[in-house]
Amino acid sequence: MRRALLAIRGIVSLLVVLVLTTGLVLAGPANKNDQAQITVLAVNDFHGALLDDGKNPGIIKLGKYLKNEKALNENGTIILSAGDMFQGSAESNLLYGKPVVQAMNNIGFDGMTLGNHEFDWGLATLEQQAKSSRFPYLAANINEKKTGKQLPFVKPYTIVKRNGIKVAIIGLTTPETAYKSNPQIVNSLEFSKPAAIVNSLVPKLRAEGAQIVIVLAHLGCEFDSKGRIIGEAADLANKISGVDLIITGHSHKNIVGRVNGIPVLQAYYNGRAVAKATFMYSLSENKIISSIITSDTNIQSTQPNDKGLARIVVRTNAELGNAMKTTLGITHTALTHDRHELSLFGQWLTDKMREKTDADIAFLNGGGIRAPIPAGKITLGQIYQSLPFDNTLYLTKLTGRQIIEALEYSFANRSVGMLQYSGLKVRYNNLNPPGHKLVSVTTLNGVPIQPDKYYQVVLNDFLVAGGDGFTMLSHGQNEQNTMRLLRDIIVSNIRSEKLINITGDNRLTYETVLVIKQAS
How are the residues of the chain apportioned to helix, strand and coil, as percentages rounded to the nearest 5? Answer: 35, 30, 40
Non-local CB neighbours of 356 within 8 Å, separated by 6+ positions: 484, 489, 493
Contact 400, 452 (CB under 8 A): yes
Res. 362: pLDDT tops 90: yes
The percent of residues above 70 in pLDDT, for the chain, comes to 92
Is pLDDT larger for residue 417 or for residue 248?
248
- Return the SS3 of 143: strand
Split at pLDDT 50, 70, 90, the class of 321 is confident
pLDDT confidence of residue 516: 54
pLDDT digits (tens, 9 = 90+) for 28-62: 444 557 899 999 999 999 999 999 988 999 999 99
For domain 325-510, the question of CATH label 3.40.50.360 is answered with: no
pLDDT over 50 (residue 3): no
Please give the pLDDT value at position 349. Answer: 98
Query: Mean per-residue pLDDT for 339-348?
Result: 96
The helix or strand, by DSSP H or E, that contains position 197, with its residue range, turns out to be helix 194-207
**Contact criterion met (CB below 8 Å) for 43 and 62:** yes
Q: 279, 212 in Cβ contact below 8 A?
A: yes
What single-letter amino acid sits at 74? E
Distance in angstroms (rounded) separating the CA atoms of residues 282 and 163: 12
Residue 55 DSSP class? T
Q: Which burial class, exposed, middle or buried, applies to 46 when counting CB atoms under 10 A from its CB (0-12, 13-18, 19+)?
A: buried
Please compute the mean of the pLDDT values over residues 91-110 and round it to a whole number.
96
What does the pLDDT read at residue 7?
46
Look at residue 393 in the predicted model and tell me its pLDDT. Answer: 96
13 pLDDT exceeds 50?
Answer: no
Mean pLDDT for the chain? Answer: 91
Q: Given this model, what pLDDT does residue 415 score? A: 84
pLDDT digits (tens, 9 = 90+) for 477-509: 999 888 888 999 999 999 999 999 998 899 999
What span, in angstroms and rounded, lies between the C-alpha atoms of 355 and 496?
14
Q: What is the pLDDT of residue 5?
A: 41
In the chain, domain spans: 20-318, 325-510
Question: What is the reported pLDDT for 520?
Answer: 54
Asked if residue 519 has pLDDT above 70, the reply is no
pLDDT digits (tens, 9 = 90+) for 405-435: 999 999 999 888 899 999 999 999 988 888 8
| Residues in a beta bridge with 330 | 377, 499
Contact 113, 138 (CB under 8 A): yes
Closest to 116 measured CA to CA, from 67, 47, 43, 57: 47
CATH number of 20-318: 3.60.21.10
Mean pLDDT, range 323-349, rounded to an integer: 94
pLDDT at 517: 54
Beta-strand ranges (E) seen in 23-164 are: 24-26, 35-43, 77-81, 111-113, 137-138, 142-144, 157-162
Q: Which residues contact 157 (CB under 8 A, 6 or more apart)?
A: 138, 140, 168, 169, 170, 171, 201, 205
Q: For residue 372, what pLDDT is reported?
A: 96
Q: Tell me the C-alpha distance between 412 and 414, whole Å.
A: 6
Q: Which of 17-26, 147-156, 432-441 ranks highest by mean pLDDT?
A: 147-156
The percentage of residues in the chain with a pLDDT greater than 90, rounded to a whole number, is 79
What pLDDT sits at residue 54?
A: 85
Residue 251: pLDDT over 70: yes
What residues contact 318, with CB distance under 8 A and at least 6 apart? none
DSSP 30: P
Tens-digit pLDDT profile for residues 160-210:
999 999 999 999 999 999 988 888 899 999 999 999 999 999 999 999 999
Q: Within a 13 Å sphere around the CA of 482, how many CA atoms are in the beta-carbon half? A: 23
Q: What are phi and psi of 136, to 5 degrees?
A: -80, 150
At residue 26, the pLDDT reads 43
Residue 2 reports pLDDT greater than 50? no
Q: Which residues contact 89 (CB under 8 A, 6 or more apart)?
A: 47, 48, 49, 50, 51, 384, 385, 388
User: Max alpha carbon distance in the chain (Å)?
Assistant: 88
The number of residues in the chain equals: 520
* Cβ atoms of 482 and 393 closer than 8 Å: yes
Q: What is the model's pLDDT at position 75?
A: 97
